[in-house]
Structure 1
């Protein structure tokens, strides 16, 4: 179980970071650079979103297999129609939600289809 002070976060320099706490008493974390491209491994449409994300429903949530083979879950964005298993995607920074009455805007990563340049 994650404690609030060990939740995954960005490390402040623009790259994504991840944390893993194996022991409950461990409090230090080490940023891990994530690959920013991968493929759609699996996906679903969320119709009954949790609090804070309900204004976005329905939205597409996907399991992304990054180019290094690791898996993570993220929302998909900028997808026309249904995503395809194996579709190439890239990480982008997007609005995730607005938090409570204070109106704090929370940004994070989502994935979109790789743009052909």
Structure 2
């Protein structure tokens, strides 16, 4: 669990930046070269590369260099780890809220006086 926690920390840290989230959003539509990812960004190419390095270190993005072109792809398997963590939290809260709803329904003072 410790290794998984470290991976989640890196992933959420990478996703905490709006520029990196925009890159992940773009890559969710398909692979792109570094220059394609940099095009809409108001920053230098080296800055884009630094953001990509953070995404790659987190496991969210895989890159492959062929000749002079580096192509980036989203690693959907890595996203499943974050999705599972979020779903586990949601499921736990839903159970708690369901129990609270049941408790409130059982303790409703008007429940017995309605026809």
What band does the TM-score fall into relative to the shorter chain?
Answer: under 0.3
The structure with the largest helix share of the pair is: 2
State the TM-score, normalizing by the size of structure 2. Answer: 0.24
**With structure 1 as the length reference, what TM-score do the two structures score?**
0.24
